[in-house]
Chains A and B, each alone.
Chain A
Amino acid sequence: MSETIHISIDGKVVDAEPGNSILHTRLQGEEALTANIGCMGQGVCGSCRCLVRKAGERSAETRLACETVVEDGMQVSFIDYYLPEHLHRYRPHDLRDGWQALPQLQQTFPEISQCRHCSGCDRACPRHIPVQQGIALANSGQLQAAAALFDPCIMCNLCTLACPENIRPNHVGLYLRRAQAIQNLRPGDLLRRLEQQARGEMAINTQTDNTRSEV
């Protein structure tokens, strides 16, 4: 391809090839990339978070740089990832008792009742998850439904950054999803196999003749 366009990344104007993603444009630059990059285009690691403002537009949007194709005049600013001081600590063990689910959720994430329905989280989410609704469901005790909404979440933490109440919505979602698996998932086939192994029935003979069959 021929014509080159220009975008600005973290304040620097760079050449970009139409059709390329923001991330790949940045990769061709002169500085070694040591952050905000992971899966490079699969869109699952959530590390390439950035703010994007298109030419002529007033507002900026949060995007994944690896999934966003460059446009002439685009302004891009990458958002670093850091661990906040304030973690909501819990252990898998704490999630075992389903009868305590609601009080425990409120104890671990005391801020969820403060949601002011500003929908900052919804606007931030590159996966278009209805985050605010997830928090509302969680508040009302509909934990399964809330958990289900966060199924495709890539933990990019953009909703957490957006939330003025420090709710960390994606972590609430993950907490609820984990609780669900920990409490409910007891596949019969797995139980049986574990029990057979405990009885010593499933040992492997490494001496079997395994000559490859030529097809």
Chain B
Amino acid sequence: MSSAIHYLQALANLAAHDRPPLRPADLSRSALLAQYHPDNAGNASTLLQIGPSRGQPCHPRLAALLQSNALIDGFDLAGAEQRSTDVLVIGGGGAGAAAALTAARSGAEVMLASKLRLGDSNTVMAEGGIQAALAASDSPQQHFDDAMRGGHDAANPQLLAQMASDAPGVIRWLIELGMHFDLDEPLEDGGKLRYKQAGGCSQPRILCYRDYTGLEMMRVLRETVELDPAITLLNRCPVVELLSHEDGSCAGAVLYDLEYQRFIVVSARQTILATGGCGRLHLQGFPSSNHYGATADGLVLAYRIGTGLRDMDAFQYHPTGVAWPQRLRGGLISEAARSGGALLVNGLGERFVEELAPRDVVTAAILRECAAGRGIERDGQLGVFLDTRPLGANLASRLPALQHLADKCGIDPCSEPMLIYPTLHYQNGGVIIDGNGQTSVPGLLCAGEITGGIHGRNRLMGNALLDILAFGRRAGRQAARLAQAARHKSTLPPQRGGIEHVYRWQRQLALAGLDSSLQAPLLYPGQARLALHRPTSPHA
């Protein structure tokens, strides 16, 4: 560890000021990012060697998974159970639930397969809230402008415009399903939703439910999915490979049923991947705020079957992860804390960045303090202070999740600062889609964090929850439409595909001289690997 200021000394330095002074900036934002953002470290990028996005930059850890061999071969499918459906949705977070509900609502027969239980996802963990431009002084245009600027002008303008325009309709849909939102002036004429300020936004635009917006959203979505008779739910059935037709289109997927330890082949007219991001890969050695299942599975499978990817070298490291105590390391402290007035303070007792600057800038600034020896050390953990005292006495009722976290840390946030360090939070890039979630592979759609292009190279707070629902619904609607068109042509069940694309991929691996012993998707992080059961004999 580079040198740092001891916790007790740092506390004394903090106590020296009523409100710590802000040190004037001596580096431009772009210089700060270039020197200190983890994406710009020397070892953070390599070029993809095979596949549709060959030649594009990608994080090396992810590149290794993207350029790996399949988990199964044709032999595994021989005796597998066969099922079929109009629309197969893979992933049980917000994007998957929204897609499944919309597809079912549009008349399709739907199957939803999830690796963990439906709902165990990043979505349920979201705290801060969801953006929607509703204020009289605000507009979808300003929402668009802020997000475009925040993403360093790299977003696909069409996708971003669709997302910002969909926002009011998405909020209405959520309320129609029974989700609550915080109100300001609840008694006045139907009430007005409470707006919170997010970093990088021209005005307050975040809608929330306390600071457990994702929990409130996901419990409503999960219940609706579980009770919908048109949706067949397969919990603990991770997808291990996609299926393809001879013409290269997607034909469904191969699932592994953990309960019965066997493969299930699902032939689907349309398949929607909504498997989320890759936070659990701990890129650049960072801790992560993500749930256990965020291991880039869908990304790997989509690439193997032929979709293009973008911005696979751009990740979001959230500025305020827990740094102490160690067992909670990486856990998220929502931006709602800074939005409500919490300050970032280094070991010298100085503020060193505007707290509501864009996330990548704040993260780079924190890493700079730590690199320069102005960080704080407590029991071997390094970070800077998040001074939550300005949040005031009603913290526990306004931000119960923050209070709950502080309790677990053994800290009284009204009198003590928390130690924080950036944590790997979000995958900015992903699969390239069109306005309806369709990829370049016919029959395959994607929605949610697995996709790229909506946010450019840096996402603003509250736009992920919006994106997964806006595009989850779009993908669901489109998949149902296409499945129904196919059903009109032929009432026979969808044709069973094979894994020809895997064999093609294996040839590419060999030609490029890549190691084909590495297999992916990873499915589960951690030190122990899951061995897929392979029935070798009838007696096994």
Contact = CB atoms under 8 A, between A and B. Distances in A.
Nearest to B288: A40
B125 A30 contact: no
A44 B124 contact: yes
Interface string B121-153: 100110000001111100111001100110011
B190 A191 contact: yes
Contacts of B326: 19
Interface stretch (B11-19, B172-180, B473-481): B172-180
A8 interface: no
A202 interface: yes
Interface residues of A, number: 69
Contact of A206 (B161, B181, B328, B400): B161
B191 A187 contact: yes
Interface in B145-199: 145, 148-149, 152-153, 157-158, 160-161, 164-165, 168-169, 171-172, 175-181, 183, 188-193
A42 B117 CA distance: 16
Nearest to A21: B327
A42 B125 contact: yes
B528 interface: yes
Contacts of A186: 190-191
A40 B29 contact: no
Nearest to A43: B404
A188 to B, nearest CB: 4
A176 B207 CA distance: 22
Contacts of B161: 204, 206
A189 B291 contact: no
A2 interface: no
A7 to B, nearest CB: 15
Of residues A40, A153, A171, A214, which shows the largest number of chain B Cβ atoms within 10 Å of its Cβ?
A: A40
B533 interface: no
Contacts of B531: 32
B66 to A, nearest CB: 22
A138 interface: no
Interface string A44-82: 110100000000000000000001010000000000010
A187 to B, nearest CB: 5
A37 B176 contact: no
A180 to B, nearest CB: 7
B530 A189 contact: no
B529 A32 contact: yes
A42 B292 contact: no
A182 B178 CA distance: 5
Given A19-B325, A87-B226, A180 B180 contact: yes
B222 interface: yes
B299 interface: no
A27 B141 contact: no
B30 interface: yes
A40 B120 CA distance: 10
A177 B145 contact: no
Contacts of B228: 91
A211 to B, nearest CB: 8
A28 interface: yes
Contacts of A38: 116-117, 119-121, 124, 291-293
A118 interface: no
A38 B214 CA distance: 14
B528 A32 contact: yes
Nearest to A44: B215
A204 B168 contact: no
B361 to A, nearest CB: 9
Of residues B220, B327, B332, B405, which shows the largest number of chain A Cβ atoms within 10 Å of its Cβ?
A: B327
Nearest to B186: A187
Given A32-B528, A194-B172, A47 B120 contact: yes
B375 interface: no
Interface string A163-198: 000000001001001111110011111111110010
B125 A210 contact: no
Nearest to B379: A1
Nearest to A127: B404
Contacts of B120: 37-39, 45, 47
Of residues B158, B176, B226, which shows the largest number of chain A Cβ atoms within 10 Å of its Cβ?
A: B176
B165 A202 contact: yes
Contacts of B235: 81, 83
B526 interface: yes
A210 B142 CA distance: 11
Interface in A200-215: 202-208, 210-215
A154 interface: yes
29 contacts: A20-B327, A27-B527, A34-B258, A35-B236, A38-B116, A40-B291, A40-B292, A42-B125, A42-B405, A45-B125, A45-B291, A47-B116, A81-B235, A152-B212, A155-B222, A177-B180, A180-B178, A180-B180, A181-B178, A181-B180, A187-B191, A189-B135, A189-B192, A190-B175, A192-B136, A193-B168, A204-B140, A206-B161, A210-B148
Given A28-B527, A90-B227, A177-B178, 15 more contacts: A30-B528, A32-B529, A47-B117, A81-B117, A91-B227, A152-B400, A153-B219, A155-B119, A155-B219, A178-B179, A182-B175, A185-B180, A208-B145, A214-B30, A215-B29
